[in-house]
Amino acid sequence: MINEYADEHKKMRALAGRIYDLDKRVYEEIGSNLGRVFTGDRDRTIDNIIKMFADTKESHILRSDLALISNMARSIRNKKVHKAVMTEYDEIVKTIDKLKLNSDKVEIIDKYIAGLNTLVMKKRFLEGQHLIICISRSYGSGGDDIGFGVSDNLEIDYYDAEIFKTVLKRLEAEKDGLIDASQMKISSASKLAKKNPGLARDEHFSLKEKISKLNRYHGLSIRDAVFFNQSELLCDMARKQDFVVMGRCADVILTNNCIPHISIFITAPLMQRVQRIMELNHVDKKTALRQVREVDRAHASYYKYYTGRRWGQAGNYDLSVNSASYGIKGSVDFILNVLKVNGIEKS
């Protein structure tokens, strides 16, 4: 044990020495008396560097020091020296990594969340897993158009509140045996049944059965009942197909049900959104501002009520995109690019 510690200490001492010497060499090459990070006595400096190694609190200072040395080293014009010095720098950084000395070894990752994040999942789309993109958006940001554009480009289904409502109305009607084609809109549920021909009948009925289960929500408010129905439908769909879903707290519902997905928040600066709503809804600035605030507030309150989280905080999504930085088509392309470069395709 003592030997192990001594060995560890020897390694650190050697590493600190290499850092001191690298700094010295860069300084000599640059030939500037302003060039040095560590200017004191070699042994004492090495002691100080070792202290920084030992304390994660200090590690960011060491990192700034290393950054200064490498910023400097990168400016050496003699190619041979430049290469030698940068190689030594890279090796020092690698050794620090190996000794797990730096602060980035104290991880920030939430392994549960990361395990469901399709963008980083190592094994994508196992049996029963599909490409599901959850998009939340602030009002006026163009998020709906961007979500639709993404689904259209990927040729996967698109679901928003409107479509959910239609599907649930259909399911209710089926349950009550009140099916009347001339009165109803298409049911995505019936489409679901058609997707897997072998299971068509079963699925059809399992969805019907779901409705009968709805009775147990009858003690709840309509808002709650709708939310729970939508949640069940969402998880059901997620086991069967790829899709883009707008809002509906879908990200949190899927996380709670261990269903992999990507969550994206789309927003833009307030005044940019107000401008867009003025054009879109043919209203004046004051009215547009009120509408944006009202819709955002309603979103935030819905999200808070069902998830306990603050809506629109970047820490709640895998990725947040400022649509004003890219435009609508630009945002669609940006998201498609992100999927592509992370090797994500339809399941």
- Return the residues of window 244-283 that contact its own copies according to CB under 8 A: 265, 267-270, 272-273, 276, 279-282
Residue 106 neighbours by CB under 8 Å, 6+ apart: 56
Backbone angles phi, psi at 336, to 5 degrees: -60, -40
Q: How far apart are CA 144 and CA 136, in angstroms?
A: 9
**Quick check: 299 binds its own copies (CB under 8 A)?**
no
Q: How far is the CB of 296 from its own copies (least distance, A)?
A: 11
Output DSSP code: residue 38.
-
Of 2-10, 208-216, 224-232, 310-318, the segment contacting its own copies by CB under 8 A is 310-318
- Select 6 or 298, whichever has its Cβ closest to its own copies: 298
Stretch that binds its own copies, among 11-19, 290-298, 300-308, 314-322 (CB under 8 A): 314-322
Among 4-12, 224-232, 292-300, 334-342, which window interacts with its own copies (CB under 8 A)?
A: 334-342
The smaller minimum CB distance to its own copies, of residues 124 and 217, is found at 124
Residues in contact with its own copies, shown as a per-residue x/- string from 107 to 146 under the rule CB under 8 A:
xxxx--xx--x-xx-----------------x-xxx-xxx
Check: CB of residue 299 under 8 Å from CB of residue 139: yes
How many residues in the shown chain lie near its own copies by CB under 8 A?
111
With beta carbons less than 8 A apart as the criterion, state whether 16 and 50 touch: yes
**Which distant-in-sequence residues (6+ apart) come within 8 Å of 114 by Cβ?**
120
CA distances to 184, 211, 225 from 172, rounded to whole Å, are 11, 7, 12
- Interface with its own copies (CB under 8 A), residue from 13, 84, 175, 190: 190
Q: How far is the CB of 218 from its own copies (least distance, A)?
A: 25
Which of 21, 81, 125, 166 is the binder for its own copies (CB under 8 A)? 166
141 closest CA partner among 319, 273, 285: 273
Task: Write out the DSSP string of 155-201.
Answer: T-EEE-HHHHHHHHHHHHHHHTT---TTT----HHHHHHHHSGGGHH
- Select the residue interacting with its own copies from 75, 87, 215, 301 (CB under 8 A): 75
CA angle 155–158–161, rounded 5-degree value: 175
- Shortest distance, CB of residue 344 to its own copies, whole angstroms? 11
Stretch 55-74 residues interacting with its own copies (CB under 8 A): 56-57, 60-61, 63-64, 67-72, 74
For its own copies, the binding residues in 28-57 under the rule CB under 8 A are 30, 32-37, 39, 56-57
* CA gap 224, 237 in Å, rounded: 20
